[in-house]
Amino acid sequence: MPVRVVESNAAPQVSGNDPGNRSPLPPSSLLAAGQAFSGTQNVSNQQKEEAWRVNVQIQGVDLEHGYLCGTMEALNVPMADTPVITFWEGEIVDGKNYTFYTGKWEATREDDMRHWSKFPSFAPLQGQVESDGGRQLDLSNYPYIFMRWKEQYFVNVGTDCGLTIAGFYYVCFSCSDGSISGFYYDPNSSPFQKLELKTVNEGRTGFSFSSYELQ
């Protein structure tokens, strides 16, 4: 949610199987409903250096359909009297439900490649992604999970708060330590605003779409 402005190591196996029959990505113990993360988003521009503290909590995960959702809280936002909370929905790149190509939100394939290539863990995948969007990649044992997070609405403030949720985040999640890095894309915002988060709790409260049970 930037300010509104006007101006790895192991290569994955390549599978020839039908992507429609592919199993969902295995669940990570750190990518689950109720898991919380904390860190910063760099919103610097040519005029000044600036970073906000950010808290994220995952509210639901449905790996079978490549879906997750949660909330994002931005603190110490200069133009806001209170922390700004948004609700977001995410797409998990699994080759079955979603590929590395966004196909919406004003993002071209060139935009996709510019942003995904910012993640070092994407390098072993880049050739296959440029070929077919990564549909033939078997990501089930890859140590990183790639996602897109799209903020849907402001939870506690109005749309006149001075921030925009028009864009979305390219996200990379480390299955080993739960760290998250991301880059915000919006043609009308400063480019490559970086999101950096680390897991902050082990206890979880939330729900899983796969089980439809409160935890």
**Cβ–Cβ under 8 Å, residues 169 and 185:** yes
Tell me what pLDDT residue 11 has. Answer: 42
**Among all chains, which residue has been given the structure tokens 């209170």?**
82
How far apart, in whole angstroms, are the C-alpha atoms of residue 34 and residue 202?
9
| Concatenated DSSP letters of 2-57 | PBP-----PPPEE--S-GGGPPPPPPPTTSSTT-EEEEEEE---SS---EEEEEEE
Tell me what pLDDT residue 52 has. Answer: 87
Instruction: Tell which residue, 108, 99, 116, 111, has the closest CA to residue 171.
Output: 116
Contacts of 126 (CB under 8 A, 6+ apart): 113, 116, 117
| Concatenated DSSP letters of 168-206 | EEEEEEETTT--EEEEEE-TTS-TTEEEEEEE--S----
How far apart, in whole angstroms, are the C-alpha atoms of residue 65 and residue 98?
9
Tell me what pLDDT residue 164 has. Answer: 87
How far apart, in whole angstroms, are the C-alpha atoms of residue 91 and residue 212?
19
Tell me what pLDDT residue 203 has. Answer: 47
Tell me what pLDDT residue 91 has. Answer: 98
Tell me what pLDDT residue 65 has. Answer: 95
**Among all chains, which residue has been given the structure tokens 């909590």?**
57
Q: 40: which strand partners?
A: 53, 196
Q: Return the structure tokens found at 35.
A: 């898991």
Tell me what pLDDT residue 140 has. Answer: 87
Spell out the per-residue pLDDT of the chain, length 215, in tens: 654 433 344 444 443 344 455 556 666 778 999 999 999 998 766 566 778 899 999 999 999 999 999 999 999 887 778 899 999 999 999 988 999 999 999 999 999 999 999 999 999 999 999 988 788 889 988 999 999 999 999 999 888 877 889 999 999 999 999 999 999 999 888 888 999 999 997 544 443 333 333 33
